[in-house]
Amino acid sequence: MLEPKRLTVENDPLHIIKTRLQTHGRPATISGPMVRYSKLPFRQLCHYYNTDITYTPMILAREFVRNRNARIADFTTNLADSPVVAQVGVNNTTDLLRVIEMIGPFVDGISVNCGCPIKEQVREGIGCALIYNEDLMVDMVKTVKCKYGSRLRLEMKIRIHEHDKPLRTLRLCERLCDAGVDWITVHGRLKSTRSSQPVDLNAIKYIVDGLKGKNVPIVANGDCFTVADMERIQSFTGCHGVMSARGLLSNPALFAGYNKCPWGCLERFVYYCVEIGGLPLQLILHHVYCMMENMQVMRRYLKQIMSLSSIIDLILWLETNFEFSRYGEEGFGARVDVPYRK
């Protein structure tokens, strides 16, 4: 059974976000929350490849509090899973406090999802709906920080308001800072903006510049697919951290400087899936597909992946078609290029 965590400089997300520019010459690197995909084996893989902080998939507070099966399905962790932030989808302060009581001792921070644009969540007052309910967001921060103070790190992850109202987003962030939020992540898109449209870095810069007197760091989210993207985003906006989601899904080694997913990353992922467990087969196969597509593996192989019937079938398929090393074997996790068998 895991012991409750204690914040130290090594696992405190706020300390990491505030200091990485000085200690490492780069912003804090962060893996964003992804529905289904940012589970424990994937988080551990990202940590191996220089991701400073990882997020869980969004946990629906009401279901998590009331349903034991939801708790088992939605959250797993281990001693190596750190620093990790649990993202919560919630529409009232009471449920937020309840889920923090249950999960707070085993994570390094809590994030309130104020950016999910999925219509079903918005109808429930979750995700993007919250940025139009500023008083509730402020109440959440005040109540949680009044109860826990610096013993619990609390972040609000937001999208931006309509482009004709940039001041509204800034005023919201100012209120959150005054209420005691530890950091704010800004996804530079509107509720209605598709991910295929470019992120609005000007909006993020506007918020960073407007909050310089608040001593609350800002993390920029959106369109980070390479280290060059990370550096460009940080340089333009002045943010303290850069979050990637889709970029890391395709290339979990992104923040280690690989522009394409290295073969060894795939070997490590399969090992973590076997060693840690807990991922459904179709989820494992989709991760493998995304990585191999990023590697530009031949299309005829990509077509075969989703038809595999078990994790054993996957490993045998990899060994048949590629030079695939298992944990403990020479060369495990070291190859970069795709090692096709002739």
Q: Which residues does the annotation place in the binding site for FMN?
A: 33-35, 87, 187, 245-246
Q: Decide if 156 contacts 181 (C-beta within 8 A).
A: yes
| Alpha helices per DSSP H over the chain | 13-24, 40-48, 61-66, 68-74, 93-103, 119-123, 134-148, 166-179, 201-210, 227-237, 246-250, 263-276, 281-294, 299-305, 311-321
Rounded to the nearest 5°, which phi and psi values hold at 267?
-60, -40
CA count, 13 A, side-chain hemisphere, 197 = 9
Task: Give the bridge partners for 218, in sequence order.
Answer: 184
Sign of the Cα pseudo-torsion (33, 59, 112, 196, in order): positive
38: nearest Cα among 214, 255, 233, 278:
278
User: Catalytic annotation on 116?
Assistant: yes
Residues annotated in the binding site, as ranges? 33-35, 87, 187, 245-246
User: Quick one: angle between helices 134-148 and 93-103, nearest 10?
Assistant: 40
Sign of the Cα pseudo-torsion (205, 11, 255, 298, in order): negative
Residue with tokens 């619990």: 152
Side chain identity, residue 38: S
| Coil vs helix vs strand at 13 | helix
Q: Which of 46, 114, 116, 265 is catalytic?
A: 116
β-pair type (109-114, 84-89): parallel
51: nearest Cα among 278, 264, 224, 287:
224
Rounded to the nearest 5°, which phi and psi values hold at 271?
-60, -45
Residue with tokens 């008083």: 135
d(CA 97, CA 143): 8
Residues comprising the chain, all counted = 342
Residues classed as catalytic: 116
